[in-house]
């Protein structure tokens, strides 16, 4: 595979159409750590394609990310669910991180829903609760864009989609998500810094995908599942297994939330 990232996305989208027989998709869901099982509640899978079978995709190496692309019919919409994602800390560069959302848009998607597992900084958030992302802090020092690509990020997370999510569940809080490069968890001092900067949540994904999706013209909704309290805010160490366990315990709740949001789109 050669050429620009856009050409790579179009090549992958063409292969996806060939394998699934679906000409166009409407909505893409990127399922973060702990969210994959929630996809089962969206509807019966029409097709499943391993990332490794599509040009340009790097299968994720993180536990809890299966590396499968699932096509689901939800009402009148064709939904593309990415069961896992590639993270920046896996070392494949920014193009690999955002190749999925670029492929989705090339396949016709106009709405991208990005989910993740996040550490809660805001003391109002309890473990196991979903939060709508209102804005972000990009602390990765990276961008998926190169050259004079001056994309307006004033409303990265679409206000209309955020309002729709809250109409589905009026109890949903909103918060600012801070993306750190990982793979290490943050130090207590870094959490204090992020809190002072206005962050409510912290994680290692989502932000680069959101930028790429907006640059491609898609609307973006971000949803975090609070899977742990951020470092230094309680007397407990952080463990990825605990993150996955919290995700499994909350899968019914977030799965129904996602299904209701997609149906309401």
Q: Could you report the per-residue pLDDT of 79-127, keeping only the tens digit for each?
A: 999 998 999 999 999 999 999 999 999 999 999 999 998 999 999 999 9
- Indicate if 186 belongs to the active site: yes
Per DSSP, the residues of 205-224 read: SSHHHHHHHHHTT-EEEEEE
Catalytic residue among 10, 11, 90, 186: 186
Per DSSP, the residues of 73-102 read: EETTEEEEEEES---GGGSS-HHHHHHHHH
pTM above 0.75, yes or no: yes
Q: What's residue 37's pLDDT?
A: 72
Summarize pLDDT for 162-208 with one digit per residue, the tens: 999 999 999 999 999 999 999 999 999 999 999 999 999 999 999 99
Summarize pLDDT for 138-162 with one digit per residue, the tens: 999 999 999 998 999 999 999 999 9
- Residue 1 — very low, low, confident or very high, per pLDDT cuts 50/70/90? very low
């Amino acid at each position: 595979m050669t050429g620009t990232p856009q050409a790579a996305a179009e090549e992958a989208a063409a292969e996806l159409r060939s394998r699934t027989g679906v000409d166009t998709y409407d909505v893409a869901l990127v399922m973060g750590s702990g969210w994959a099982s929630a996809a089962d509640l969206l509807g019966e899978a029409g097709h499943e394609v391993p990332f490794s079978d599509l040009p340009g995709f790097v299968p994720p190496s993180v536990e809890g990310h299966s590396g499968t692309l699932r096509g689901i019919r939800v009402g009148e919409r064709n939904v593309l669910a990415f069961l896992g994602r590639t993270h920046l800390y896996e070392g494949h560069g920014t193009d690999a991180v955002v190749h999925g959302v670029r492929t989705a848009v090339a396949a016709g998607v106009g709405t991208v829903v990005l989910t993740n597992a996040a550490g809660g900084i805001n003391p109002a958030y309890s473990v196991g609760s979903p939060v709508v992302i209102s804005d972000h802090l990009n602390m990765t020092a990276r961008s998926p864009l190169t050259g004079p690509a001056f994309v307006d990020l004033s409303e990265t997370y679409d206000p209309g989609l955020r309002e729709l999510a809250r109409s589905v569940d009026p109890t949903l809080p909103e918060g600012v998500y801070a993306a750190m490069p990982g793979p290490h968890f943050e130090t207590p001092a870094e959490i204090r810094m992020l809190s002072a900067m206005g962050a409510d949540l912290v994680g290692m994904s989502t932000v680069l995908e959101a930028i790429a999706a907006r640059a491609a013209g898609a609307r973006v909704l971000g949803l975090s599942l609070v899977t742990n309290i951020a470092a230094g805010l309680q007397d407990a160490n952080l463990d990825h297994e605990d993150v996955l366990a919290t995700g499994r315990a909350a899968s019914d709740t977030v799965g129904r939330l996602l299904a209701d949001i997609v149906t309401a789109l």
